[in-house]
A and B are shown apart, each in its own frame.
Chain A
Amino acid sequence: MSAFRHYFTIHCYSFAILFLLYSLFALGGLFPELAMKEGMLLYAMTAGIALLMAATDRLPLRSNGLIAAVRLLDVAAVVFAIGLPSGFIPLEADIILYVLGLMAVIFVSITGLFMIKDSAEATAINERLTKRKRMMNSEKDKEDEHEANH
């Protein structure tokens, strides 16, 4: 998958899930109804987070824990940078935490989905590598046996 498709998929999935969750919370009376402007802000947030992730993924990190921490920071940075100046997120600690938690859960879920797919791919590659090594060893054994017989 090309880098653009990968991050665009993250953005689209995230926006769809966020929009759905926000709508459910709004139906339950927890959030105010979503106006057009707020919808666009949510879109800008998920796009911004995907863009920032594309940038921070260039860091030479090899620890999944560290990568997850950087991704959560990406989420926090974009949510604050867009949400606070626009007035979408009021400067109240409990609301900020609530919104951050919601965004983090969405991005962790999306990253998890990709991780499941990538882990399956890694398992398939490892199985193939093991099979190749087994084949090579058996061919080498046959050659050794052939040489020993002559």
Chain B
Amino acid sequence: MKLIIDQSPEYGELEITIKCGMIDERLERLIAQIRMMSSAITGRKDGRSYLIRLEDAYYFESIDNKTFIYTESDVYACSQKLYELEQQLAGSHFVRISKSCILNIEKLASVRALLNGKFEAQLSNGEKLIINRHYVQALKEKIDL
């Protein structure tokens, strides 16, 4: 793979062009990574607004019609609805794992089967989430399984 960086003070907004014969698994992941890095979301905490990079978000959860962004150790309120985030995050590393939760699979450390047909996801910060049976297939497709 050739890496060409064309730097000039004339250029304004950063533009990334990928030239390829076909999009393979590695390239798909790279594109998803670029999408994640180039996107940020506004979260509110203690009356202040913060710009949170998508790659720092562990998961989004909807509780009582309010959406929250979970990072490694903080929780922020988000003005967007979960279904809006799901649409916005299509093609990225995020996947729906239950009616109320969208997970960043880059933060998924492992999964464990439960007796009731659900799975328990352990995140890289030690947090645990429930993956509903209905969404397991989507998760498997996301990790190319």
Chain A residues with Cβ below 8 Å from B119 are 118, 122, 125
For the complex formed, measure the closest distance between the CB of A7 and the CB atoms of chain B, giving whole angstroms. Answer: 9
For the complex formed, measure the closest distance between the CB of B143 and the CB atoms of chain A, giving whole angstroms. Answer: 5
Q: Which residue of A lies closest to B132 (CB)?
A: A3
Given the contacts A1-B133, A6-B133, A126-B110, A115 and B145 also touching, CB distance less than 8 Å? no
Interface residues of A in 79-131 (CB under 8 A from B): 111, 114-115, 118-119, 121-122, 124-126, 128-129
Residue A149 at the B interface, CB < 8 A?
A: no
Given the contacts A57-B117, A68-B115, A115-B115, A129 and B108 also touching, CB distance less than 8 Å? yes
Main secondary structure of the interface of B (DSSP, over half): mixed
Interface size grouping (class) on chain B = 20 to 34
Selected contact of B145 from candidates A57, A124, A139, CB within 8 Å: A124
Selected contact of B143 from candidates A53, A71, A128, CB within 8 Å: A128
| Beta-carbon contact of B145 and A125 below 8 Å | yes
Instruction: Please report the C-alpha to C-alpha distance between residue A118 and residue B139 in the assembled complex, in whole angstroms.
Output: 14
Chain A residues with Cβ below 8 Å from B29 are 132, 136
| Beta-carbon contact of A118 and B108 below 8 Å | no
